[in-house]
Amino acid sequence: MHIAFRNYWADKHYGASESTEITASVDRINHTEGLDELLNVYLEVLQGFCSELCYQGSETVIKRMHYYMERNYEKDLKLETFARMFNYNSNYLGKVFRKEIGDSFNNILDSIRISNAKQLLAETDLKVYQISERVGYSNIDYFYLKFKKYVGMSPKEYKRQTSSD
């Protein structure tokens, strides 16, 4: 488990760079003796990480959000959830997101979902309702509406077109 922890914090996509400080912190946790010492070291390390994250600025927060959205688009993602997670006001975070990315949170999320839906329609034999659920739309009518908005045709038409090419 400590290796996954180290990789998470060192992952460049999340804005954190590999550093000897992170490795040293993880090694401190791994080499503690006794529960009290472990809890104290763990608390110090987490406080250090939290402090570092707070000083990285909104650009890093937006990169992390986008990275997470691309990999978890099928989940029920809300701007308000990210705002609580990063200790931002959701209206402010929405404005910062739009400024950094160039579009709203919901439009980017829809774009990611529709892009993945197109791939599933073209490459699998899944039914449209299954793809809708798989990419994060629980309402099939809403999925049809969004798909037509972004692609210009219904999912069924898209599937027919890509299978005949």
Q: Which CATH superfamily is domain 73-165 in?
A: Homeodomain-like (1.10.10.60)
d(CA 137, CA 76): 9
Over the chain (165 residues), the average pLDDT of each successive run of 10 is 39 49 79 86 76 68 94 96 92 96 97 98 96 97 97 96 82
pTM of the model: 0.67
Domains of the chain by residue range? 2-54, 73-165
Helix axes 57-71, 79-86, angle to 10 degrees: 130
